[in-house]
Amino acid sequence: MRKGFSQEQIDEVIGANNIIDLISEYVTLKKAGSSYKGKCPFHHEKTPSFVVSADKQLYHCFGCGVGGNTVNFIMDIEHLNFVEAIRFLAKRANISLQESDEISDENQRKKDRQFQLHKDAANFFYKTLYQDLQAQKYLFARGIDKNTIKQFAMGYAPNTGDALYRYLSKKQYHIEEILASGLVMKSQKRSG
């Protein structure tokens, strides 16, 4: 068993760690419009495809698909779980945390797994948009250009009802995890 943190404490820690300042400790960032750009620390690249939004306090790499907030970045770059990342960021911001009721390692593992499942689903929708020319044309016709699509990491849900389920299953998620995510529902079709 280990202790957990209240949502208020987590929000305080996230709010106290500006994403530009944090990521600048690991990546050389240059201003690019309203965002910042740099070379992704998670894969080798020659041209910067790693974008950080100061307004949204989010990052996204258009080369390898990683993205998230300050907690995600620290989890990925320092190879920490969620609780360890919160502790790391709290220490960085000189915030003392009060650990609340105990949370089992199993519950934390499930939370971490659900978080990763949602990241994988977002990546699926993002990639699906780039594979569907009709979906792209739909957005372009409404004045949404490629830069906006990239900046907001927009995606597309294909018209086949089980595409996300199949994708997540191939990534070794169990049906119970997929259903618990709320992203997929059991079919209500009745046979006979």
Band (151; pLDDT cuts 50, 70, 90): confident
Q: Where in the chain is the domain with CATH 3.90.580.10?
A: 1-103
Q: How far apart are the C-alpha atoms of 48 and 39, rounded to whole Å?
A: 4
Q: How many CB atoms lie within 10 A of CB 27?
A: 20
Q: Where in the chain is the domain with CATH 3.90.980.10?
A: 105-184
Q: How far apart are the C-alpha atoms of 163 and 138, rounded to whole Å?
A: 20
> What digits encode the pLDDT tens for the residues 29-49?
999 999 999 999 999 989 999
Torsion of the alpha carbons at 44, 136, 129 and 51, rounded to the nearest 10:
40
92-114 mean pLDDT? 78
Whether the Cβ atoms of residue 57 and residue 6 lie closer than 8 Å to each other = no
Q: Which one is the CATH code of 105-184: 3.90.180.10, 3.90.980.10, 1.10.260.40, 3.30.465.10?
A: 3.90.980.10
The correct answer on CATH 3.30.428.10 for the domain covering 1-103 is no
> What digits encode the pLDDT tens for the residues 53-80?
999 999 999 988 899 999 999 999 999 9
